[in-house]
Amino acid sequence: MTTATKNTVKSVIVLSLISVICVGLLAMANGIFPKPDTSAKLDTKTVALLNEICYSESYDIAYGTYDEFVTSFNDKNGTNYKYINALYRATGDTNHGRLIVEAVGNGYQNGTVTVLVAYNIDKTIMAVELKSYDKAKNNYMGGNLVSSGALDAVFENLKGSSGNVGSGKDLMVGTGATNSLNGVANAINFANKFIESVDESALPPIVVQPLESAPIVRYAKDIELLGGQHE
């Protein structure tokens, strides 16, 4: 074997070995590190927003991002920028059983917009609230829509509607940031689509819990973790 061939073989072996060992280590580390928690949470901010549109003394998450119902719906109908985050449920005496969908839609340059849509029994929109939006990409939202109150006007108009709400242009009362409104429209349309597929009788039973004590959050994943505890 000439030196040249020996060098080639040595190069191949050494680089392959280094790469394999490194990748093996990384694959193991991937298993060890816990996944970052990107799931929908029933945090106080969300509860405050829920209170705006569908007041109740308490809420639970009927379906979260770990529930197969949501993930399969997202896989079939959603994209990277358009998906359902959670289905909340009012569990207090007021608005008992009302459903609120948290949906994410894509707006300008695929910056995401997250909305909460509360529904009446007949699946028409009860109220809409903006939860968050990508400040960098949809920067018109803050100035033109949110602080000017234009977005609130839009949401007022939507009350009682059902079915496709159109696009940003259709939603807008007057002129404004129609591109960012596309995100809102996309999210609401997707939420409407989702609520059509929800069968209320199939939902897990309500457990009324005040928010102060630790809420039993209904992730399918959590039910496993709690050792099959169903209450």
User: Closer to other proteins at the Cβ: 24 or 210?
Assistant: 24
Closest listed residue to residue 168, CA positions, set 156, 149, 151: 151
User: Closer to other proteins at the Cβ: 13 or 208?
Assistant: 13
User: Closer to other proteins at the Cβ: 39 or 51?
Assistant: 39
User: Closer to other proteins at the Cβ: 31 or 228?
Assistant: 31
Shortest Å, Cβ 71 to other proteins: 17
User: Closer to other proteins at the Cβ: 10 or 96?
Assistant: 10
| Side chain identity, residue 224 | E
Shortest Å, Cβ 219 to other proteins: 18
Q: Which run of H or E residues covers position 191? A: helix 178-197
Entry field: residues in the chain: 231
CB within 8 A of 190, min separation 6: which ones? Answer: 77, 78, 82, 83, 84, 103, 104, 105
Shortest Å, Cβ 16 to other proteins: 5
Shortest Å, Cβ 115 to other proteins: 21
Residue 76 exposed, middle or buried by CB count within 10 Å (0-12, 13-18, 19+): exposed
User: Closer to other proteins at the Cβ: 22 or 207?
Assistant: 22
Shortest Å, Cβ 188 to other proteins: 26
Give 13-17 contacts, CB < 8 A, sequence gap 24+. Answer: none
Shortest Å, Cβ 76 to other proteins: 22
| Side chain identity, residue 219 | Y
- Rounded CA separation 90/56 (Å): 6
Report yes or no: 59 and 171 within 8 Å, Cβ to Cβ.
no
Q: Residues in the site for other proteins, rule: CB under 8 A?
A: 4, 7-8, 10-12, 14-16, 18-20, 22-31, 33-37
Report yes or no: 195 and 101 within 8 Å, Cβ to Cβ.
yes
Taking CA 73 as the corner, what is the angle to CA 57 and CA 205, rounded to the nearest 5 degrees? 35
